[in-house]
Structure 1
């Protein structure tokens, strides 16, 4: 992977949250050991590229203030979050040692994810929008009162590009940044869906509580200050309506079933 000595490396590979919790060994083997193997390959190649690592808001654990400030200490409550936090520490140390120029971006939940559902515990946030818009039923496994922060795939791409281009000296030694996003409840997601696509589409959501998913999701943070990221030029949507419209334009060719 590093033999061509690229100027920029994007490290997005990983086992998602729900699967990392269900399969302890696989989660650590991929999310931590795999990350360190990549970092060491770059170190041994001795060419110091920019390395952009996708971390997660799962590095934070309860109890939380109403808004998570940039100085809030990571205390993950899942194996996935722990693996991401450990990888963040490696990124900061390898950057300090000059092995590469690393930037870690803590992504909010990316919504609406295209394609088929995966094993992420957060997958329903996308599913309750994506499936109804495609004429399919969606399962909602948590209460409508759940508050969460989202950004669109468009924003995720822009986060990655900006992280690849940003001046590392402006970032300083704190190399892991919490990205901005839109904080809404699940109920507000559904209201936005109804505004844009109509009540018939919104009725395709079926509430079916899942205690396993709820146990993971309730340990996640809800809102973020993301001041450092905003000051460094990272930007996301201002409303969940924008996120839904982006999905319709980019993935559905502007059409709703």
Structure 2
């Protein structure tokens, strides 16, 4: 079984590649080879029991994708994206990567010998709602930002390609993933990881929203499990609706800050940012996720579990990378 990870150099791509290397199998089949594809050279996982290719290129270029996704590919994890605030700031770039990249993926997938499973990482940003909204599994996607619109449009095209038998897609609408290792990025939700990660490193950080603000979140460890579940599951249970709202967790900013020590909490400085607040303020903070639970997707249990996962998996490496 050949697998390709688009966005293989990102933190989720690296974690997914490491997990596949540990098991050496997917859906009960032996992994024969793995391709990691990104704009910059993605690192190969250590001690992979199969050959790993690390390629660079433009995700919206069918020729580059054709090299990354050979005809024998069985599973493609599409993790490559221009994140929320960056897509809002640069409309053309967001459309190119988030939408045209998905159209290029469909074009290349049609050349595979067997229609491959495509695991597409969509987002809660493809919905809109206020802090009290509970999104049902069949809720209409009405994004209030370009990133969410691009993700929703890509979902529709992948769903239609699945209907036509060109590929076999599962669209996972990820919550805000915390705690992200490394450094802050250009996502509007970057502060959600930063208000936990930076104090644990002894660094100050800013808080652009108030402490009552609630978000739908999950840990990288649980998200990798969801991606593998999406790759292995029997999609006949999905029918024509290929979108899944996975079972994340609702937490407020205040609850996250309360999980820190007093000294760590003091490093988080309130600095209201109307641009960031305007983007994340349209993201629902609660989802029913009944469909995902019935399909066997693992729920995100609690904030303590999220922090423990970061301490075990990423804190030491992040501290070493950033010199703190």
- In the other structure, the counterpart of 1:252 is 315
Aligned CA-pair RMSD: 1.7
After superposition, where does 1:12-31 map in structure 2 within 5 Å?
12-31=79-98
Q: 1:230 aligns with which of 293, 296, 316?
A: 293
Return closer, same or farther for 1:213/1:230 CA change in 2, 3 Å cut-off: same
Q: Does 1:137 align with 2:204?
A: yes
Q: Structure 1: how far apart are the matches of 2:199 and 2:184? A: 13
- Greater share of residues in strand: 2
Q: Structure 1: how far apart are the matches of 2:82 and 2:317? A: 32
- In the other structure, the counterpart of 1:88 is 155
**Secondary structure of residue in 2 paired with 1:236:** coil
* Contact in 1 for aligned 2:118/2:231 (Cα 8 Å): yes
User: Tell me, which stretches of 5 or more residues in structure 1 are unaligned?
Assistant: none
- In the other structure, the counterpart of 1:107 is 174
Per-residue deviation, 1:241: 1.4
Q: Deviations over 1:208-244 (max 9, x none)?
A: 1111101111111110001101111111321111111
Higher mean Cα deviation, 77-86 or 57-66?
57-66
Q: Does 1:75 align with 2:142?
A: yes
User: Tell me, which stretches of 5 or more residues in structure 2 are unaligned?
Assistant: 1-67
Q: Structure 2: how far apart are the matches of 1:85 and 1:13? A: 15
Q: Deviations over 1:119-172 (max 9, x none)?
A: 000000000001100111111111111110110000110010000000011222
Q: Structure 1: how far apart are the matches of 2:159 and 2:168? A: 9
Q: Structure 2: how far apart are the matches of 1:232 and 1:58? A: 23
**Secondary structure of residue in 1 paired with 2:121:** strand
Per-residue deviation, 1:63: 5.4
* Contact in 2 for aligned 1:148/1:222 (Cα 8 Å): yes
Return closer, same or farther for 1:255/1:11 CA change in 2, 3 Å cut-off: closer
- In the other structure, the counterpart of 1:58 is 125
After superposing on structure 2, the runs of 4+ consecutive aligned residues of structure 1 that deviate more than 4 Å are 253-257
Q: Does 1:217 align with 2:284?
A: no
* Contact in 2 for aligned 1:132/1:202 (Cα 8 Å): yes
- In the other structure, the counterpart of 1:153 is 220
TM-score, normalization by structure 2: 0.75
* Contact in 2 for aligned 1:144/1:185 (Cα 8 Å): yes
Q: Structure 2: how far apart are the matches of 1:178 and 1:90? A: 18
Q: 1:205 aligns with which of 257, 262, 268?
A: 268
TM-score, normalization by structure 1: 0.94
**Secondary structure of residue in 2 paired with 1:39:** helix
Number of residue equivalences: 253
